[in-house]
Structure 1
Amino acid sequence: MQIQIDYRLTDIGWAECTVSSGERTCLVTASYESDALRNLVLAANGVLAGFSALTFRFDEEPGEFRWVITAPRHNEVQIDILQFPELWGARPDAEGISLYTSRCRPIVFAKAVADAARRVLEAHGESGYLEKWDAHPFPAAQYADLVKAIEKDGED
């Protein structure tokens, strides 16, 4: 299955991320409280590296969007996005509200994340990103690692 990810800086310290596959679409937001784009890029790197499970979050004020990525089978990842009403509540996944679930190949997820990060970089540049995101620089090193990992995966 294909997946599309669109990540946009919407205001100083705020971003929106739309994730869609087939007829499923989910819009989540993030504040500068978390390094959301970096977390997303790191997750894509982890998926390509073979992690069987990882979790990260987009922090809200208040609240949290928790991304839970698991590998239910060889060469497949499941992406679940859960919503929690409080920030840093450390609630179990089972207590979250499920907003989105989809499965795809790891490379499909990684390419969707890389494309989203590339569009953000093209739109703002590194200095513009820092100015708009405020607390965290563009994850240039992690993005470069992701691009290399995608290229390497294509060579295998």
Structure 2
Amino acid sequence: MKLSIEYELENAGWARLKLSNETDSYEASVSYLNDSLCELAQLAIDLKNGRKETKTIFMDEPGELHLVIILRNNLAEYEARWFEDWASWNMHSIDDYKVVLSGGTCPNQIIEQITSILLNIIDNVGMEKYKELWVEHDFPAKHLDELLNV
């Protein structure tokens, strides 16, 4: 099942994430507490480089969503896991989560979407405004360059 990823900046320090496939969708708020856009870009790089397992953490307040991808036989098997509190900060068990979306798709489909998300932010927000909104985190320009093979 194709995975659709939407990531839009909102107010200072917040973004909106929507993950969907042909049958289900899941939306989450994303806080500045974690550098999720950089992790999302790294996930795409990991897939591009053939890494067998990778993930991105999207922190909310409270809770967090982990997008976990495992490569098997040229298929990117994905699972979106919701945690009631911050498992990445050891405030919740890493084994206690709810799977809110799962499926499999072509790795390139995910890489292309993430690259498009990054390009959209550069084109419509810019690096300076991004830094204003995400105070703690710079736009992942080097990651984008790597995805574009610059």
Provide TM-score, normalisation by structure 1.
0.87
Q: Using the alignment, how far apart are the partners of 2:48 and 2:7 within structure 1?
A: 20
| Sequence identity percentage | 24
- For the 8 Å contact 1:62–1:86, the answer to whether it is kept is yes
Matches within 5 A, 1:39-118: 39-71=39-71, 73-87=72-86, 88=89, 89=91, 91-92=93-94, 94-118=95-119
- For the 8 Å contact 1:81–1:99, the answer to whether it is kept is yes
SS in 1 for 2:27: strand
Unaligned runs of 5+ in 1: 150-156
More helix by share: 1
- Find the counterpart in structure 2 of residue 153 from structure 1: none
SS in 2 for 1:19: strand
Structure 1 residue 38 displacement after superposition: 0.5
Give the counterpart letter for 2:5 in structure 1.
Answer: I
Q: Using the alignment, how far apart are the partners of 1:47 and 1:90 within structure 2?
A: 28
Runs of 4+ with deviation above 6 angstroms: none
> Number of residues paired by the alignment?
147
Matches within 5 A, 1:136-151: 136-148=137-149
C-alpha deviations, 1:109-150, integer Å up to 9, x for none?
10011111111221100101111122101100001111229x
Alignment RMSD, CA only?
1.6
- For the 8 Å contact 2:78–2:102, the answer to whether it is kept is yes
Matches within 5 A, 1:6-17: 6-17=6-17
C-alpha deviations, 1:31-58, integer Å up to 9, x for none?
1110011100100110111111122311
Q: Using the alignment, how far apart are the partners of 1:123 and 1:19 within structure 2?
A: 21
